[in-house]
């Protein structure tokens, strides 16, 4: 058994590949309006920036202070998405029930590129607190945005919280970037391919699984 198993959130524990783009569009418009930017249709690059540098550059163009604007935008998106989750638009996959059994032998964590406020909300709302000892999403800062996976920052933070060495941990994700995240930290990885196609690319997961229930039979490979 692994000392710790960390899970990606979107597409692994919670239905939906990621936060709906409409959430970020609305959050961006709300934030720009409150900062009196005078922009009605924000550019796509500000709604979904590639990185913090892009967000900073566009904030400068619209004459809004980048850091406070970003914190506002992330908070607005969190409020919107958490409301959608309460309304049932995103829900746990049925096989998430297996967490209770897995928690009997491994410490569990959630590590997501989603916002920390939504990750924390989800853990509490679906009453996973008892089984999931650490939950990290991206911090609502521009620096936090640049630390998203495949940067192993948040996975490292979660394993530190659980006091587990990455070599004794498994990270479960549905994207090849999740596999790369685990590789970069020296953890094993499981690629969850729920249905349909395996994502294309070079990353080599330690395991490939079709359901979270497959984790019950997973053992660390012998040295
Ligand atoms: Mg995912």
Query: Does the pLDDT of residue 1 top 80, yes or no?
Result: yes
Cα of 11 vs centre of ligand 1, distance in Å, is: 5
Cα of 114 vs centre of ligand 1, distance in Å, is: 9
Cα of 82 vs centre of ligand 1, distance in Å, is: 17
Cα of 34 vs centre of ligand 1, distance in Å, is: 31
Q: Which two tokens stand for residue 184?
A: 């970069």
Each residue of 186-223: b (16+ CB within 10 Å) or e?
ebbbbbbeeeeeeeeeebebbbebeebebbeebeeeee
Q: Tell me: the pLDDT tens digits for 53-88?
A: 999 999 999 999 999 999 999 999 999 999 999 999
Question: What length does the chain have?
Answer: 223
Q: Determine how many CB atoms are found less than 10 A away from the CB of residue 121.
A: 20
Cα of 70 vs centre of ligand 1, distance in Å, is: 23
Fold exhibited by the domain 4-15+91-217: Rossmann fold (3.40.50)
Cα of 211 vs centre of ligand 1, distance in Å, is: 14
Cα of 28 vs centre of ligand 1, distance in Å, is: 23
Specify the pLDDT at position 196: 77
Domain boundaries, given as residue ranges, for the chain: 4-15+91-217, 21-86
Cα of 197 vs centre of ligand 1, distance in Å, is: 14
Q: Tell me: the pLDDT tens digits for 184-199?
A: 999 999 999 998 788 8
Instruction: Tell me the pLDDT band of 110, cut-offs 50, 70 and 90.
Output: very high
Q: Tell me: the pLDDT tens digits for 145-171?
A: 999 999 999 999 999 999 999 999 999
What does the pLDDT average to over 30-47?
94
Cα of 9 vs centre of ligand 1, distance in Å, is: 6
Query: Does the pLDDT of residue 130 top 80, yes or no?
Result: yes
Specify the pLDDT at position 200: 87
Cα of 16 vs centre of ligand 1, distance in Å, is: 8
Query: Does the pLDDT of residue 140 top 80, yes or no?
Result: yes
Cα of 10 vs centre of ligand 1, distance in Å, is: 4
Tell me if 110 sits within 8 A of 9, measured CB to CB.
yes
């Amino acid at each position: 058994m692994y000392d710790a198993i960390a899970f990606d959130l979107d597409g692994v524990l919670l239905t939906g590949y990621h936060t709906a783009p409409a959430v970020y569009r609305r959050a961006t418009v709300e934030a720009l309006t409150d900062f009196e930017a005078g922009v009605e249709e924000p550019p796509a690059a500000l709604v979904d920036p590639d990185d913090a540098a892009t967000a900073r550059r566009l904030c400068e163009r619209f004459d809004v202070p980048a850091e406070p604007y970003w914190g506002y935008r992330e908070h607005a998106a969190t409020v919107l998405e958490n409301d959608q989750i309460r309304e049932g638009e995103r829900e746990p996959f049925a096989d998430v029930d297996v967490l209770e059994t897995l928690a009997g032998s491994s410490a569990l964590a959630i590590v997501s590129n989603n916002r920390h406020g939504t990750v924390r909300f989800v853990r509490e709302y679906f009453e996973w607190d008892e089984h999931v000892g650490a939950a990290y999403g991206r911090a609502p800062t521009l620096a936090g945005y640049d630390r998203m996976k495949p940067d192993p920052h948040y996975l490292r933070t979660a394993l530190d919280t659980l006091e587990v060495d990455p070599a004794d941990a498994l990270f479960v994700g549905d994207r090849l970037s999740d596999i790369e995240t685990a590789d970069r930290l020296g953890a094993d990885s499981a690629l969850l391919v729920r249905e349909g196609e395996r994502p294309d690319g070079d990353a080599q997961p330690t395991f490939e699984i079709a359901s979270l229930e497959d984790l019950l039979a997973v053992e660390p490979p012998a040295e």
